[in-house]
C-alpha cells in the first residue's frame, strides 16, 4: 500500500543522504521525496511517499526513527490528512485554437497561467497527484514541452501536528 | 582577542587528545599519515594516552573492536585520510554488524580542498554511512570537543555501534578554547531503557503458561552486561536455554538447562527444541538468517516474545507476538520481579515431559567425533584447550570451520571472552582483535584460534605483537584448505573444490620466528595436549601453534540453505547414535 510519511529532521549537511541511503541500501521504494527547512531553520521537514506491505512500512518507519538525525515522524496514512503537489507545465500554444483549449482546461482544473510568450504558456497547478495526472492526460500530449513536479507534501487534518 | 584568551586556546590536535583523555580512553589503535600529522604530534607530546601502532588500518579497527568487546568500553581507532579510511572500512563494518561501541577517527584533507579530488581525499562520511551508527564531519575546530562527546555518547548508548569522526587537517591546526561538555542532550536521539510494564506482564503470563518453552538468547545479553539476569531468569523458570554464536559465555555452558548453540551449526537438541517449542523467549537476539534457517519453517508451533533494545529488530525477520523494547538488564529485572510476584507457576508436569523429550534429543550426542583417528581432529584441539584453560581464556577467532569448532567445543565460562565476527564474518579479524584484548588484559590468557586462510589476511600484525610484547597464543587449525568453503563445495557442489586449496602455504614456524615469536608444529593427536600445555605456559612470548589437522573434517550438525531447524545434516558419527 502507498504511505505518506512525514519526518522532522535536523537540518544538517548529509541528513538527506542518510534518508536516501537508507531507502536504497534496504531496497525500499521512494515514489517521491520533498524536503525544505521549517519555520525553525535548525529543522527540515521531509515528506516521503513510499509503497510496501504493512511489514515493510513498519520497518521503514523504525529504520527512519533509528537515524540519529531524525527527530520525529508520522505515517500520515494512518489518519486523515491532506496531500498536495505543485506542478509547472510549459505547453506549446502557437494556434488560437490551442490557446483557447488550454485556457479552458486550466480553468476547469483551477490552475493558473503564470507566464505567457508568443508561442508558450506556463501553467501552475496544485492538487493531489491524481488531479495533476488527470490534467496531463487531458491536454494534448504533443503540446507539452516540460513538466516539473514538486513531489508530494502532506499534513494531518485537524489539530494533530508534527512538531517537537 | 586579548592575550589571556589566546593562551587558553588549544590546537585542534590537542583538543582531540584531551577529549579522548576526558572520555577516559587509555589506549588508541592507529596508523599515521599526512592528514593526521598534527594529531600524532599532539599524541607525541603527552603520556596519558597510549597509542598502539598497527601494520594495517584494518588491524587498528579490529584491535579497537577486540578491546571494546572484551571490556565493554568503547574502542578507539585513528587512521589517516584516503587509503587509511578505506582500509578501515572492513573493520568498521565488522563492528557495525555486531553492534560494538567504537569511535573511529579519520583524517581528512583540509576543508578548503574537500571536493577537489585532493591528494588522499575520499568521502569518508559517504563511504562509512551505511556501516556506522552515525558519523560526523568536523567543519570548525570550535565544534570538535562537542562532536567528540556526542560520538562517544552515541557509540555507547542504546544499541551500541561504531561512530566515525572525520577531521580535516586544518581543523587539527586551528585553535579554540578547550571545553569538554559534561553531558549531551540530543533532541533526535533518546534511547529507551526500561521496557513497557504492560508488555512485561503479558510476556510473563505467556511464559508461565507454556508447555514447551524455550529461551533463545543472543549477543545483546553480552553487550548489555546482563548475564546475571539471564541466569537468574532461566534458573527461576527451569526452562531450556539455547544461545546464538554471539551470546556464548553469558550462560554457563556446563549447566543442565543449557542445550548448546542453535542455528546453522547448532546442536541437534537446541534446533529440535526450537522447532517443537510452543513459547519462544528471545532475549537480545535478532533472528538472523544463520540462526533461523528457512523462516517459513521457523518455530512453527511457537508464540514469540522478543526483548530487544532496538525497535527495528522487532518483527524484522520473524513476526513476534509480544515485543518488549528496552535495555536487556532492566527488562529482565522487571520480568523476574513480575514472575516472582504472580501466583502462576511454570507447568511442572508439562515441563517434565518436555525435558524428557529434550534429553532424548541430547542423547544423540550430535557433537561426537572420531576419537581414534590417526589424524588430529580440530574438535579435539579445542576440547583440550577448553579443559586446560577451564573455559576462562579469551578466545578471538577468525572465520571458518575453526570458528564454529570453537563455538561448539570451547566451554566459555564468562561473557566477553568469546571475540568473533559473527555478523560480517570477517576473515582477518582474529589476530588484531586478540591484540586489542591482550592490550586491555595484559595478564590474561588470550588465544587466537584461526585457519591457514584467515591468518594470512592480517598476518602483518605479528609485527605489532612483537613491538608491544603481546604474548598471544595463536592456535592455527591448518587443514590446507579454505575449509568452510570447501565444506560447501563438498556437500553442494559435488566436491568441485574450486579455489579453496591453499597450495602455497608458508612455513609458519619460520614466519613466526622471523617476527621474533615462538613457532610450534603439531602433527599427531598424541602431541596435542602437551603442546597446548607447553604453549599456554609461556607467558611472556607470542606462541604460534600450527596444528596440522585432518583435512577432510566437516562441521556438523549443519542446516543447509532453505532447510528448517528439524532438517539438520548430522555427522556420520552422530548418525550412528
Ligand atoms: C574477508 C573474507 N573473505 C572471504 C570470506 C569467505 N569465507 C568464509 S570461511 C572461508 C574459509 C576460511 O578458511 P580458513 O581460515 O583456513 O578456515 P577453515 O574454514 O579452514 O577453518 C572463506 C574464504 C570471508 N568470510 N571473509
Q: For residues B62 and B72, what is the distance between their CA atoms, to the nearest angstrom?
A: 15
For the record, the C-alpha cell of A45 comes out as 521537514
pLDDT at B1: 46
What mean pLDDT, rounded, does chain B reach?
96
| pLDDT of B5 above 70 | no
Query: In this complex, which of B137, B189, B316 lies closest to A68 when CB atoms are compared?
Result: B189
The nearest alpha carbon in chain A to B123 belongs to A14
**pLDDT, tens digit (0-9, with 9 covering 90-100), for B425-481:** 999 999 999 999 999 999 999 999 999 999 999 999 999 999 999 999 999 999 999
Residue nearest to atom 2 of ligand 1 (CA): B427
Query: In this complex, which of B129, B130, B188 lies closest to A70 when CB atoms are compared?
Result: B188
Question: Which spans in B29-186 are helix H?
Answer: 37-44, 57-71, 83-97, 124-128, 144-156, 169-173
| pLDDT of B6 above 70 | no
For the record, the C-alpha cell of B403 comes out as 570458528
Q: For residues B464 and B27, what is the distance between their CA atoms, to the nearest angstrom?
A: 14
Q: Report the separation in Å between the CA atom of B501 and the middle of ligand 1, taken as the mean of its atom positions.
A: 11
Fold match between B3-177 and B197-362? yes
Residues of chain A neighbouring B189 (CB-CB closer than 8 A): 68
pLDDT at B502: 82
Q: Report the separation in Å between the CA atom of B199 and the middle of ligand 1, taken as the mean of its atom positions.
A: 42
CATH number, domain B378-548, options 3.40.50.970, 3.30.420.40, 3.40.50.720, 3.50.50.100: 3.40.50.970
Query: Long-range pairs for B150-153 at CB < 8 Å and ≥24 separation?
Result: B150/B184, B150/B186, B151/B103, B152/B23, B152/B74, B152/B103, B153/B184, B153/B186
pLDDT at B574: 57
Label each residue of B311-347 as H, E or C: HHHCCCCCCCCEEEECCHHHHHHHHHHHHHHCCCCCC
Pocket of ligand 1 (CB under 6 A): B 398-402, 425-428, 451-454, 477, 479, 481-485
pLDDT at B32: 98
Q: Report the separation in Å between the CA atom of A137 and the middle of ligand 1, taken as the mean of its atom positions.
A: 57
For the record, the C-alpha cell of B470 comes out as 603481546
Residue nearest to atom 13 of ligand 1 (CA): B482
For the record, the C-alpha cell of B250 comes out as 553469558
**pLDDT, tens digit (0-9, with 9 covering 90-100), for B514-566:** 999 999 999 999 999 999 999 999 999 999 999 999 999 999 999 999 999 99
Query: In this complex, which of B188, B311, B319 lies closest to A69 when CB atoms are compared?
Result: B188
* A44: closest CA of chain B, how far (Å): 12
Q: What's the farthest any 2 CA atoms get from each other in chain A?
A: 57
Domain extents in chain B: 3-177, 197-362, 378-548
CATH class of B3-177: alpha beta
| pLDDT of B109 above 60 | yes
Query: In sequence order, what are the beta bridge partners of B261?
Result: B243
**pLDDT, tens digit (0-9, with 9 covering 90-100), for A126-138:** 999 999 999 999 9
Q: Report the separation in Å between the CA atom of B482 and the middle of ligand 1, taken as the mean of its atom positions.
A: 6
pLDDT at B105: 98
**pLDDT, tens digit (0-9, with 9 covering 90-100), for B258-287:** 999 999 999 999 999 999 999 999 999 999
Residues of chain B neighbouring A59 (CB-CB closer than 8 A): 312, 316
Could you tell me the CATH superfamily of domain B197-362? TPP-binding domain (3.40.50.1220)
Residue nearest to atom 3 of ligand 1 (CA): B427
Interface of B with A in 154-213 (CB under 8 A): 154, 186-189
Confidence class for position B503, pLDDT limits 50, 70, 90: confident
**pLDDT, tens digit (0-9, with 9 covering 90-100), for B338-354:** 999 999 999 999 999 99
Residues of chain A neighbouring B312 (CB-CB closer than 8 A): 59, 62-63, 65-66
Amino acid at each position: 500500500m502507498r504511505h505518506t510519511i512525514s519526518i522532522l529532521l535536523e537540518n544538517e549537511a548529509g541528513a538527506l543522504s542518510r534518508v536516501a541511503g537508507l531507502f536504497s541500501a534496504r531496497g525500499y521504494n521512494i515514489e517521491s521525496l520533498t524536503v525544505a527547512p521549517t519555520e525553525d531553520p535548525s529543522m527540515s521537514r521531509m515528506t516521503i511517499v513510499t509503497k510496501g506491505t504493512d511489514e515493510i512500512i513498519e520497518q521503514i518507519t523504525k529504520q527512519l526513527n533509528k537515524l540519529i538525525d531524525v527527530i520525529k515522524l508520522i505515517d500520515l496514512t494512518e489518519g486523515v490528512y491532506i496531500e498536495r503537489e505543485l506542478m509547472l507545465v510549459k505547453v506549446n500554444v502557437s494556434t488560437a485554437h490551442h490557446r483557447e483549449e488550454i485556457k479552458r482546461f486550466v480553468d476547469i482544473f483551477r490552475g493558473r497561467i503564470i507566464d505567457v510568450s508568443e508561442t508558450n504558456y506556463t501553467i501552475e497547478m496544485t492538487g493531489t497527484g491524481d488531479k495533476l495526472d488527470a490534467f496531463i492526460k487531458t491536454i494534448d500530449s504533443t503540446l507539452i514541452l516540460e513538466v516539473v513536479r514538486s513531489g508530494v507534501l502532506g499534513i494531518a487534518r485537524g489539530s494533530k501536528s508534527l512538531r517537537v | 582577542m586579548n592575550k589571556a584568551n589566546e593562551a587558553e586556546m588549544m590546537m585542534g590536535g590537542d583538543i582531540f587528545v584531551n577529549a579522548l583523555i576526558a572520555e577516559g580512553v587509555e589506549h588508541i589503535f592507529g596508523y599515521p599519515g599526512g592528514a593526521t600529522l598534527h594529531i600524532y604530534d599532539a599524541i607525541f607530546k603527552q603520556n596519558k594516552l597510549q597509542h598502539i601502532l598497527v601494520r594495517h588500518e584494518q588491524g587498528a579497527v579490529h584491535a579497537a573492536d577486540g578491546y571494546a568487546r572484551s571490556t565493554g568500553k568503547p574502542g578507539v581507532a585513528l587512521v589517516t585520510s584516503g587509503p587509511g579510511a578505506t582500509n578501515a572500512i572492513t573493520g568498521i563494518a565488522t563492528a557495525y554488524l555486531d553492534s560494538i561501541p567504537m569511535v573511529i577517527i579519520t583524517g581528512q584533507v583540509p576543508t578548503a580542498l574537500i571536493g577537489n579530488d585532493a591528494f588522499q581525499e575520499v568521502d569518508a562520511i559517504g563511504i562509512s554511512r551505511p556501516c556506522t551508527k552515525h558519523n560526523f564531519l568536523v567543519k570548525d575546530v570550535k565544534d570538535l570537543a562537542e562532536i567528540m562527546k556526542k560520538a562517544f555518547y552515541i557509540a555507547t548508548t542504546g544499541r551500541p555501534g561504531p561512530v566515525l569522526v572525520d577531521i580535516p587537517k586544518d581543523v587539527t591546526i586551528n585553535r579554540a578554547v578547550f571545553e569538554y561538555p559534561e553531558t549531551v542532550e540530543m533532541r533526535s536521539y533518546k534511547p529507551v531503557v526500561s521496557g513497557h510494564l504492560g508488555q512485561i506482564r503479558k510476556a510473563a503470563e505467556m511464559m508461565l503458561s507454556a508447555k514447551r518453552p524455550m529461551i533463545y538468547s543472543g549477543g545483546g545479553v553480552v553487550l548489555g552486561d546482563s548475564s546475571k539476569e539471564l541466569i537468574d531468569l532461566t534458573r527461576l523458570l527451569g526452562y531450556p536455554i539455547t544461545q546464538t554464536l554471539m551470546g556464548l559465555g553469558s550462560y554457563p555452558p556446563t549447566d543442565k538447562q543449557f542445550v548448546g548453540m542453535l542455528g546453522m551449526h547448532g546442536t541437534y537438541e537446541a534446533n529440535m527444541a526450537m522447532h517443537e517449542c510452543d513459547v519462544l523467549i528471545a532475549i537480545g537476539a535478532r533472528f538472523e538468517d544463520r540462526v533461523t534457517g528457512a523462516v517459513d519453517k521457523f518455530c512453527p508451533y511457537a508464540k514469540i516474545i522478543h526483548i530487544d533494545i532496538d525497535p527495528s529488530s522487532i518483527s524484522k525477520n520473524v513476526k513476534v507476538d509480544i515485543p518488549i523494547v528496552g535495555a536487556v538488564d532492566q527488562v529482565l529485572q522487571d520480568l523476574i520481579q513480575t514472575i516472582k510476584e504472580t501466583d502462576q507457576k511454570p507447568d511442572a508436569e508439562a515441563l517434565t515431559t518436555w525435558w524428557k523429550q529434550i534429553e532424548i534429543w541430547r542423547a544423540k550426542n550430535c557433537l561426537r567425533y572420531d576419537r581414534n583417528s590417526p589424524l588430529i581432529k580440530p574438535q579435539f584441539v579445542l576440547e583440550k584447550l577448553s579443559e586446560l584453560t577451564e573455559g576462562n581464556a579469551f578466545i578471538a577467532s577468525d572465520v571458518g570451520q575453526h570458528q564454529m569448532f570453537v563455538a561448539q567445543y570451547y566451554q566459555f565460562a564468562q561473557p566477553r571472552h568469546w571475540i568473533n565476527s559473527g555478523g560480517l564474518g570477517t576473515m582477518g579479524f582474529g589476530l588484531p582483535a586478540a591484540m586489542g584484548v591482550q592490550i586491555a588484559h595484559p595478564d590474561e590468557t588470550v588465544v587466537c584460534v584461526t585457519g591457514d586462510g584467515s591468518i594470512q589476511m592480517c598476518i602483518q600484525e605479528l609485527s605489532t605483537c612483537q613491538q608491544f610484547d603481546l604474548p598471544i597464543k595463536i592456535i592455527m587449525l591448518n587443514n590446507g584448505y579454505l575449509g568452510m568453503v570447501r565444506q560447501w563445495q563438498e556437500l553442494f557442489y559435488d566436491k568441485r573444490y574450486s579455489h579453496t586449496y591453499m597450495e602455497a602455504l608458508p612455513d609458519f614456524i619460520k614466519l613466526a620466528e622471523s617476527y621474533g615469536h615462538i613457532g610450534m608444529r603439531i602433527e599427531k593427536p598424541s602431541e596435542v595436549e602437551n603442546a597446548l600445555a607447553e604453549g599456554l605456559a609461556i607467558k611472556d612470548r607470542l606462541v604460534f601453534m600450527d596444528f596440522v589437522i585432518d583435512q577432510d573434517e566437516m562441521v556438523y550438525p549443519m542446516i543447509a540453505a532453505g532447510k528448517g531447524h528439524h532438517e539438520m545434516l548430522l555427522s556420520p558419527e552422530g548418525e550412528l547414535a
